[in-house]
């Protein structure tokens, strides 16, 4: 990269979102580059190499929909593809459309400062290099800033240890090893289920259990793949009709509208079907009303009891502090059965909290556990963490991390007042956070691409959302929170992270109005000459 090379658009991040945005901008003949912190493309699917990492969305509903040719060329091997396969897919896409040559790797952006006099972003990389761009597009992921637990002694440990996000590229020897896992979110659940039969011993440190449900994955044979390829139009159309952009949408009935027998039969069907139906395909009020939710939670609790042989252990694995689906539901394969193995042990941190990590293990209030390997599956500074890490500075020296300190404020989840010529593609308060990511990302990227065409057409040099439009959007986002039980529960969805200072209260950072309404809002704004945004 040359010093201060000038681009029309800089995209930060070469993950699922950045790849598609690059494709669309090149199609328009725009002078664009993608800056990627990693040594290669793939974002989430580049970093998360931990054993068991795989889709929770059906592979074919996660694929890019923009190219029929691509859809017809690519064969998925499983209904829920694993991380290596997804990374291969993203590489295939980049190679097929000659995208790689427009990407620059090992380019971590340290700072982006808007220069009002030239109406340009000055982007400075970690290694000191700089470049400029008329428009800055962030595609930096919502779960890309891993957080280690705030436990003393982490660096004292002499064995191997890492956060799941930083699982090494080189094979990690597990056989015969004494392994500790801290964290039982969607990541921890996948790792634990995958390695339980590979390690010598496995100790799981659990603070709060999650409601997990079977993924029901399976291979896709050649004949099925032919059928899938013939059905892509229907697959994507179905995704366009559901609030989460998944193949699973809510049943219009309420729990009380059906007989107990009918309800039981339906719930059995959901529990035994692949994917997120068990969470998102339920009666409409299960995720909205306490009484309906309690009934379903009791049903799932019994399923857990039926899968874990030790009744006391089963009780520890059943959440008591929140109802089913009010936090992200980890989908699993033999997660509960793993606890029936003799080499696995659950440490309930509510009974015996961790005191510290030591040279050779983890000390709780009751004992010292010795390990060869400690795996931190302790989550992320979600949604705004990646923004906070970059010094994003507006024209008056105003910093984005200050503006968003108490929680993000945006217009449409895509732009923010005080930061002209910037779009946050997978940003807070947009639908990508609460949807099947590629589906929502295609909406956001298509909108941003059309917006950039509009700027060019009108020869506008500068855009910035108005404060009033942003305030209205915040009210709209907040209204979505009133409807859902999940906003009463502490999780990364609602902005909580015990390992990040100040993240101990509700933050309005996800869009809960559903992908359909979000798409409609985007359309309305575009059709009304981008009302709410000032141009010059």
Count of residues that interact with ligand NAP, criterion CB under 6 A: 26
Question: Is the backbone of residue 329 left (phi > 0), alpha (psi -120 to 50) or beta?
Answer: beta
Q: Which helix (H) or strand (E) segment is 80 a member of?
A: none
Task: Give the DSSP letter string of 475-508.
Answer: HHHHHHHHH-GGGGS-SGGGT--TTSTT--S---
DSSP state of 171: P
Tell whether residue 208 is a contact of ligand NAP (CB under 6 A).
yes
Residue of 121, 404, 492, 511 interacting with ligand NAP (CB under 6 A) = 492
Beta bridge partners of 10: 33, 136
Residue of 30, 182, 286, 373 interacting with ligand NAP (CB under 6 A) = 182
Tell whether residue 59 is a contact of ligand NAP (CB under 6 A).
no
Tell whether residue 45 is a contact of ligand NAP (CB under 6 A).
no
Tell whether residue 247 is a contact of ligand NAP (CB under 6 A).
no
Residue with Cβ nearer ligand NAP (99 or 186): 186
Give 227's Cβ-side CA count (13 Å radius): 6
Residue with Cβ nearer ligand NAP (206 or 410): 206
Tell whether residue 438 is a contact of ligand NAP (CB under 6 A).
no
DSSP state of 197: T
Residue with Cβ nearer ligand NAP (379 or 407): 379
Residue with Cβ nearer ligand NAP (182 or 193): 182
Tell whether residue 506 is a contact of ligand NAP (CB under 6 A).
no
Cβ–Cβ under 8 Å, residues 41 and 100: yes
- Collapsed DSSP state (helix, strand, coil) of residue 95: helix
Q: Which stretch binds ligand NAP (CB under 6 A): 51-59, 95-103, 286-294, 300-308?
A: 51-59
Tell me which residue has its CB nearest to ligand NAP. Answer: 185
Tell whether residue 498 is a contact of ligand NAP (CB under 6 A).
yes
Contacts of 159 (CB under 8 A, 6+ apart): 360, 371, 372, 373, 374
What is the distance between the alpha carbons of residues 380 and 339, in angstroms, rounded to a whole number?
26
Question: Is the backbone of residue 4 left (phi > 0), alpha (psi -120 to 50) or beta?
Answer: left
Tell whether residue 180 is a contact of ligand NAP (CB under 6 A).
no
Tell whether residue 324 is a contact of ligand NAP (CB under 6 A).
no
Q: Which stretch binds ligand NAP (CB under 6 A): 19-27, 340-348, 377-385, 465-473?
A: 377-385
Tell whether residue 318 is a contact of ligand NAP (CB under 6 A).
no
Tell whether residue 416 is a contact of ligand NAP (CB under 6 A).
no
What is the distance between the alpha carbons of residues 112 and 115, in angstroms, rounded to a whole number?
10
Beta bridge partners of 182: 205, 376
Tell whether residue 42 is a contact of ligand NAP (CB under 6 A).
no
Tell whether residue 381 is a contact of ligand NAP (CB under 6 A).
no
Q: Which helix (H) or strand (E) segment is 234 a member of?
A: helix 232-241
Q: Which stretch binds ligand NAP (CB under 6 A): 228-236, 244-252, 378-386, 447-455?
A: 378-386
Binders of ligand NAP among residues 73 to 132 (CB under 6 A) are none
Give 522's Cβ-side CA count (13 Å radius): 27
Structure tokens at 483: 């409807």
Tell whether residue 55 is a contact of ligand NAP (CB under 6 A).
yes
Residue with Cβ nearer ligand NAP (246 or 492): 492
Closest-CA residue to 213 (of 368, 330, 128): 330
Residue of 15, 183, 394, 438 interacting with ligand NAP (CB under 6 A) = 183
Tell whether residue 207 is a contact of ligand NAP (CB under 6 A).
yes
Residue of 305, 328, 363, 389 interacting with ligand NAP (CB under 6 A) = 328
Cβ–Cβ under 8 Å, residues 204 and 192: yes
What is the distance between the alpha carbons of residues 465 and 532, in angstroms, rounded to a whole number?
6
Residue with Cβ nearer ligand NAP (153 or 395): 153
Tell whether residue 50 is a contact of ligand NAP (CB under 6 A).
no
Q: How far is CA 153 from CA 132, 148, 293, 357, 384, in A?
A: 42, 12, 40, 5, 27
Tell whether residue 427 is a contact of ligand NAP (CB under 6 A).
no
What is the distance between the alpha carbons of residues 35 and 125, in angstroms, rounded to a whole number?
9
Residue of 185, 281, 394, 513 interacting with ligand NAP (CB under 6 A) = 185
- Collapsed DSSP state (helix, strand, coil) of residue 44: helix
Tell whether residue 56 is a contact of ligand NAP (CB under 6 A).
yes
Neighbours of 517 (CB within 10 A): 15
Residue with Cβ nearer ligand NAP (30 or 81): 81
Tell whether residue 133 is a contact of ligand NAP (CB under 6 A).
no
Q: Contact residues for ligand NAP (CB under 6 A)?
A: 54-56, 143, 149-151, 182-188, 190, 207-208, 328, 349, 377-380, 492, 498-499
């Amino acid at each position: 990269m040359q010093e201060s090379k000038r681009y029309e658009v800089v995209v930060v991040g070469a993950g699922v979102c950045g790849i598609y945005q690059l494709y669309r901008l090149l199609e328009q003949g725009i002078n664009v580059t993608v800056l990627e912190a990693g040594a290669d493309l793939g974002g989430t699917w580049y970093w998360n190499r931990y054993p068991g990492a795989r889709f929770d969305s059906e592979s074919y509903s996660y694929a890019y929909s923009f190219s029929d040719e691509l859809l017809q060329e690519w064969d998925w091997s499983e209904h829920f593809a694993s991380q290596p396969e997804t990374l291969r897919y993203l590489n295939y896409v980049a190679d097929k459309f000659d995208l790689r040559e427009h990407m620059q790797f090992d380019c971590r952006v340290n700072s982006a400062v808007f220069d009002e006099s030239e109406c340009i972003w000055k982007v400075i990389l970690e290694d000191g290099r700089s470049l400029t761009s008329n428009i800055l597009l962030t595609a930096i992921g919502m779960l890309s800033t891993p957080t280690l637990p705030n436990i003393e002694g982490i660096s004292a440990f002499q064995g191997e240890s890492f956060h799941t996000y930083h699982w090494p590229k080189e094979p990690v020897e597990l056989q015969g090893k004494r392994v500790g896992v801290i964290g039982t979110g969607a990541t921890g659940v996948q790792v634990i289920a995958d390695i339980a039969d590979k390690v010598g011993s496995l100790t799981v440190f659990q603070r709060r259990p999650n409601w997990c449900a079977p993924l029901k994955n399976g291979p896709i044979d050649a004949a099925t793949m032919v059928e899938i390829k013939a059905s892509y139009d229907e697959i994507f159309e179905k995704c366009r009709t559901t609030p989460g952009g998944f193949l699973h949408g809510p049943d219009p009935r309420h729990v009380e509208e059906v007989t107990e027998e009918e309800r039981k039969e339906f719930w059995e069907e959901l529990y035994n079907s692949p994917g997120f139906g068990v969470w998102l395909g339920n009666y409409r009020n299960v995720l909205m009303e306490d009484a309906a939710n309690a009934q379903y939670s009791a049903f799932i609790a019994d399923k857990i009891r039926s899968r874990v042989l030790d009744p006391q252990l089963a009780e520890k694995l059943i959440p008591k502090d929140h109802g089913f689906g009010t936090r992200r539901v980890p989908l699993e394969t033999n997660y509960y059965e793993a606890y029936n193995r003799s080499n696995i042990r659950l440490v309930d941190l509510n009974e015996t909290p961790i005191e510290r990590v030591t040279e050779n293990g983890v000390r709780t209030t009751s004992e010292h556990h010795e390990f060869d390997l400690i795996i931190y599956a302790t989550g992320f500074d979600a949604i705004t963490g990646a923004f906070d890490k970059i010094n994003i500075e507006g024209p008056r020296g105003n910093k984005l991390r200050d503006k968003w300190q108490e929680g993000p404020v945006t217009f449409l989840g895509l732009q923010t007042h005080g930061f002209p010529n910037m779009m946050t593609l997978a940003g807070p308060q947009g639908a990508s956070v609460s949807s099947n990511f590629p589906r929502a990302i295609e909406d956001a990227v298509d909108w941003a691409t059309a917006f950039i065409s509009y700027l060019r057409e009108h020869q506008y040099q500068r855009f910035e959302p108005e404060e009033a439009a942003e305030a209205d959007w915040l009210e709209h986002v907040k209204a979505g929170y009133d409807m859902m039980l999940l906003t009463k529960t502490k999780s990364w969805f609602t902005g909580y992270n015990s390992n990040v200072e100040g993240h101990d209260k509700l933050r309005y950072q996800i869009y809960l109005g559903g992908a359909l309404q979000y798409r409609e809002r985007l359309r309305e704004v575009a059709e009304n000459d981008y009302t709410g945004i000032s141009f010059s």
